[in-house]
Structure 1
Amino acid sequence: MLFTVFTPTYNRAHLLGRLFESLQRQTARNFDWLIVDDGSEDETEASVAQFIAEANFPVRYFRQKNQGKHIAINAAVEQADGDWYLPVDSDDFLADNCLEICESLAEEASAASFAGFTFIHAPEELVGKTQSYGTKKWTGYNSYKWDFAGEMHYVFKMEMIRKFPFPLFEDENFCQESVQVIPIVKSHIILYTDHILAFGDYLEDGLSQNLYARLLKNPRYAMLAFKTKLQMAQTREERMALTQNYWDIVLKTKQPTLKAFLAFPIAFSVPFLGKKLMNKLK
């Protein structure tokens, strides 16, 4: 099996069918579908059972207690049979030729010893309007000039992503995926492309909504995310914004100050905290 298409899900039985149908339409049969259910309380299990009965490709389903998407990712990586890890959220769907193009990109990435490749996840309004894309390839992180609200979708070698599991912080259940992705792209070469192969719009109940409130409820993961993002910041303004966000979480959630200070680069914490102190003294 070449690709494991992985979908984490929580109470999304009403949405999974669209993704399933897009997998049924794939022009290549080089994948299996691995679903990790993060403790859903709806009809997810029954829906997946129907998918398994109808599918023209292998489907596997695992259920865990509710721990968050990042822990579902850890579980999927452990259980996956594929050589390549291709995540697709439950509210998204794939272009009909996604797996066919991915096979070609995987061959190219493997020949060059790259850790993975990318394609673009685009808004649903671009379905059927992607003819002018799919011609560019490059290896420089964050160098793509966007003309719509899309994002890079990473596909990694399974052996690579297994080296970068998410940490487990008790009593917290939300961690941004940058905590896993950035260490890989920072230390390995990625084949970036402008193929548009996945579609979906952000939903009101999605993890991307109300992000700041989620960060405050999961402060240790939030602090780790801001520290990790600092590795890829390209300007001083970006670095100081991440520093401000980091200390905002620390102070508002009353994290141990000394521990937080030692965990973040001093070169950015000292000027930020010094300025904050001076403003208080005015």
Structure 2
Amino acid sequence: MLFTVFTPTYNRGYLLDRLFQSLSRQTVRNFEWLIVDDGSTDDTEELVTQFIDVADFPIRYVKQKNQGKHIAINYAINNAAGKWFLTIDSDDFLANDCLETCQLLSTETENNKFGGFTFIHAPEEMFSEKKTYDIKKWTEYNSYQWEFAGEMVYVFKVEVIKKHPFPIFENENFCQESVQIIPIIKNYKILFTNYILAFGEYLEDGLSQNLYQRLLENPRYALLSFRTKLSVAKTSEDKKLLARNYWDVVLKTKQPKIKSFLSFPFQLNAFILLEKVRKKFSH
């Protein structure tokens, strides 16, 4: 089996049929669908049972207590039957040739230096527009100029992603996926492409009010995420923004100050302190 298509879900039974139908239309059959249910209270399990009865590809369903998407990912990577691991959320769906294209890309990245490849998740309306783009491939992280609101979907070798599980912090249930993805990008080559192969609503991964509240509720994961993102930040502006966010979470959630200070670069700590001093004396 070449691919494990993994879907974490929580009370999204009403959306799963669209993804199931897109998997049923795939032009290749060398994949399994692994669903990890993060403690749903809706009819997800009943619906998946119906999918299993009619599908012509393997479907595995596992239900865990509500612990967060990152814990579901940890379970999935340790139980994946495929050689390649692809995460598709329950509110998204795939182009009919998604896995056939992924199969071709997997042959280009068999070399041990590669950890995986990517394609693009685009707004749902682009599925019906059937636009075509010049196919581009590159290996430098964060060098793509977006023409629309989209994001990269990563397809990793199972043997690679298994080496980078999410850490577990008790009493916290939200961790940004950059904590797992960035270390892989730093240690392996990634073949980035602009194939548009997945569709759905695009939610910008910025500090929206909803995301910001989740970061405050899960401060240890939040601080780890900021430190991880800092390791690949290219501009001084990006680094300063990460420093501001880092210390905002530290101060608002009463994290250990000395430990937090020692865990972040001295120059950025100094920048934040000077910034706070300037603000204090400017009022």
1:92 maps to 92
CA contact (8 A) 2:70 2:175 kept: yes
CA contact (8 A) 2:32 2:58 kept: yes
- Please give the residue correspondences for 1:6-25 in structure 2 after superposition, counting only pairs within 5 Å: 6-25=6-25
CA distance in structure 2 between the aligned counterparts of 1:195 and 1:129, rounded to whole angstroms: 15
1:146 matched to 2:146? The reply is: yes
Cα deviation, residue 262, structure 1? 1.2
CA distance in structure 1 between the aligned counterparts of 2:45 and 2:12, rounded to whole angstroms: 10
1:125 maps to 125
Q: Secondary structure at the match of 1:7?
A: strand
1:141-167 deviations in Å (ceiling 9; x for gaps): 111111100001100000000000000
CA contact (8 A) 2:115 2:188 kept: yes
1:199 maps to 199
- Please give the residue correspondences for 1:54-93 in structure 2 after superposition, counting only pairs within 5 Å: 54-93=54-93
CA distance in structure 2 between the aligned counterparts of 1:112 and 1:237, rounded to whole angstroms: 35
CA distance in structure 1 between the aligned counterparts of 2:76 and 2:160, rounded to whole angstroms: 14
Cα deviation, residue 130, structure 1? 4.3
Cα deviation, residue 112, structure 1? 6.8
1:181 matched to 2:184? The reply is: no
1:236 maps to 236
Letter in 2 for 1:120: I
Cα deviation, residue 131, structure 1? 4.1
CA contact (8 A) 2:113 2:188 kept: no
1:52-109 deviations in Å (ceiling 9; x for gaps): 1111100001111100000000000011111000100000000000000000000111
1:236-258 deviations in Å (ceiling 9; x for gaps): 01000000000000001111111
CA contact (8 A) 2:150 2:202 kept: no
CA distance in structure 1 between the aligned counterparts of 2:256 and 2:111, rounded to whole angstroms: 47
Letter in 2 for 1:177: E
CA distance in structure 1 between the aligned counterparts of 2:17 and 2:217, rounded to whole angstroms: 31
CA contact (8 A) 1:120 1:150 kept: yes
CA contact (8 A) 1:83 1:158 kept: yes
1:160 maps to 160
Q: Which runs of 5+ in 2 are unaligned?
A: none
Q: Secondary structure at the match of 2:155?
A: strand
CA contact (8 A) 1:134 1:193 kept: no
1:215 maps to 215
CA contact (8 A) 2:261 2:269 kept: yes
CA distance in structure 2 between the aligned counterparts of 1:79 and 1:25, rounded to whole angstroms: 25
CA distance in structure 1 between the aligned counterparts of 2:209 and 2:85, rounded to whole angstroms: 25
Q: Secondary structure at the match of 1:192?
A: strand
**How many residues end up aligned between the 2 structures?**
278
Q: Residue 134 and residue 61 in structure 1: after superposition, are their counterparts in 2 closer, same or farther (change >3 A)?
A: farther
Q: Secondary structure at the match of 2:110?
A: helix
Higher mean alpha-carbon deviation, 42-51 vs 129-138, is at 129-138
Q: Secondary structure at the match of 1:18?
A: helix
Tell me how large the CA RMSD over aligned residues is: 1.4
CA distance in structure 1 between the aligned counterparts of 2:237 and 2:155, rounded to whole angstroms: 30
1:27 maps to 27
Q: Secondary structure at the match of 2:128?
A: coil
2:53 maps to 53
CA contact (8 A) 2:37 2:61 kept: yes
1:253 matched to 2:231? The reply is: no
What TM-score do you get using the length of structure 1 for normalisation?
Answer: 0.95
What TM-score do you get using the length of structure 2 for normalisation?
Answer: 0.95
Q: Which runs of 5+ in 1 are unaligned?
A: none
1:31-68 deviations in Å (ceiling 9; x for gaps): 00000000111111111111111111000011111000
Cα deviation, residue 273, structure 1? 1.7
Q: Secondary structure at the match of 1:128?
A: helix
